[in-house]
Amino acid sequence: MLPVSDFKIQKKNNFNLIGKIKVRVIVIIGSLVAFSFFAQLVFANNIATDGQKLAQIQNEIKKLESENTTLKVKIAQESSLATLTQKAQELNFRRPSKIITP
C-alpha cells in the first residue's frame, strides 16, 4: 500500500501533465484559428481586388466594343455612295463615256 502522501503527489503530477497537454492543444487550435482568420483576410482582400480588376476589364471591353461600333458606323458613312458621289462632284470627276475592256 502506497503512502497517502505518495498518492497525492502522483495525482498532482497527473493533473499537471493533462493540464500541459490541454494548454498545448488550446494554443495550437488558437494559432490555427488565428492563422485561418488571417488567411481569410488575405484571400478576401485579394478576391476583392481581383473583382475590381475584373470590373475594370469588363469596362474596358465595353469601351472598346463601343468605339468599334462607332468606327464601323463612321467608315460605312464615309464610304457610302452618297458621300462618294458628293466628293466626286467636288473634285470634278466625270462619268466614263467609253467602255474599255482588256
Q: Which of 16, 51, 63, 93 binds another protein (CB under 8 A)?
A: 51
* Site membership for another protein, residue 12 (CB under 8 A): no
* Site membership for another protein, residue 99 (CB under 8 A): yes
Cα-flanking dihedrals φ and ψ of residue 66, to 5°?
Answer: -65, -45
Q: Which residue has the cell 497537454?
A: 21
Identify whether the C-beta of residue 44 lies closer than 8 Å to the C-beta of residue 38: no
Identify whether the C-beta of residue 81 lies closer than 8 Å to the C-beta of residue 88: no
Identify whether the C-beta of residue 53 lies closer than 8 Å to the C-beta of residue 60: no
The helix (H) or strand (E) run that includes residue 99 is: none
How many Å apart are CA 67 and CA 60, to the nearest integer?
10
Distance in Å, CB of 31 to another protein, minimum: 20
Q: Which of 13, 36, 52, 86 binds another protein (CB under 8 A)?
A: 52
* Site membership for another protein, residue 91 (CB under 8 A): no
Residue number, 24 or 74, with CB nearest to another protein: 74
Binding site for another protein (CB under 8 A): 47-48, 50-52, 54-55, 58, 66, 69-70, 72-73, 76-77, 79-82, 85, 95-96, 99-101
